[in-house]
Amino acid sequence: MIVRRVVVTGLGCISPVGNTTKESWEAVLAGRSGTSRATQIDTHHFASKVAAEVKGFEPTKYLPPKQLKKTSRFVQFAVAGSQMAIKDAALNLSAEEAYRCGVLIGSGIGGLQTIEEQHKILLEKGPDRISPFLIPMLIVNMAPGQVAIQFGLKGPNNCVATACATGSHAIGDASKIIQRGEAEIMLAGGTEACITLLGFGGFDAMKALSTHNDEPSKASRPFDKTRDGFVMGEGCGVVVLEELGHAIKRNARIYCEMAGYGMTSDAMHMTAPDPEGKGAARCMELAMKDAQVRPDEVDYINAHGTSTPLNDKVETLSIKKAFTEPIAKRLMVSSTKSHTGHLLGAAGGVEAIFTALAIYNSIAPPTINYKHPDPDCDLDYVPNEARKAEIRVALSNSLGFGGHNATICFKKFEG
């Protein structure tokens, strides 16, 4: 059987360090942090006071004002990220068969802000004042739904909701749709915008958030011994996946090849990872097997690296299991969450973009705010400065609440 190859031809990113892919990538390479004191909510009730917010986003660039009243922020991000990715890929969608172009964009939480706003209206003004747009504004599948409507994409349309693994699952699942011959082009990734009182308060109540409030820009410090929790973020990452022959025919720029995908479940705990890292290790092994690469051929891993004490310790352990310790010690491993905070359902999409750009530009992004080595985290985390290096094969890990694990494998495109 001939396996249809899938390549990445377009990137669209909105993050706490930039409202475009270019801005975000340049900020990451420069070692900038998108974390600051939270401004979208009043945090005086909470132990954590910091967040990684998208700043200066103008949705009117992507949607007409009338439409904005009917869409939540996470959907606006998805439409904007998709438009950027389509433009970056130089796609002429009017020339494409609409039923051969699809969308698979997920969100971990969806329209939480809309729920809160409309619940307040319900309590203060009564049920007859609830917006008729409440349901279509809050449901998670409206992100891919609205993207399809905006761009006339009538092919496969689906939505993933696997917490922090969402974006990577979406990209992996979309690549398989193309491999099966059900589409030529897929927009895939994740989007999230839930820095709200309820969303922030829920994570704060779990004691999952960093309380390094005195130095917000240094609060997200993956793999550092003094890490104490993640920084809640928001944003969107969408990639254009395309069947190789289709991309070559239209002379598309190819960032890399989407070569492999693995997914597993820890089947262990609602929020904590398997302490032995077996699920995440198996996930990486499956992605490498799918990509037909050996562990010693992998050059770089964009780690899940949340900056929580347990995740970073367990992910380090899982990498050693998947690669064996001698190979793991030679790998470059970094967490771009040190720059962006944790974008939850959007994390996998944004980090896939950074991984693709790392391959395309031969440079590994750094883990910033890394100062205090942890004996339990003893790999090469590309500390504090980007590193020029030939990257031929790279993995991107996403590990979500519920024990959901996803790994995607990108290869340098070589024709």
Q: How many residues does the chain have?
A: 415
DSSP category for residue 145: H
Q: Could you confirm whether 342 is annotated as catalytic?
A: yes
- Amino acid 101 reads C
CA 398 to CA 383: how far, in whole Å?
A: 20
**SS3 call for 30:** coil
Query: Which H/E stretch holds residue 284?
Result: helix 278-291
Query: Which H/E stretch holds residue 353?
Result: helix 347-361
Report CA-CA distances (Å) from 281 to 261, 323, 392, 398. Answer: 13, 8, 21, 12
- Amino acid 338 reads S
Query: Given the DSSP bridges, would you call strands 300-302 and 256-265 parallel, antiparallel or unpaired?
Result: unpaired
- Catalytic residue of the set 164, 194, 256, 283: 164
CA 286 to CA 105: how far, in whole Å?
A: 23
**SS3 call for 106:** strand
Strand partners, 301: 333, 395
Q: Are 9 and 242 in contact (CB under 8 A)?
A: yes
- Catalytic residue of the set 304, 339, 377, 404: 304
Distance between first and last Cα of the chain: 20
Residues recognised as catalytic: 164, 304, 342
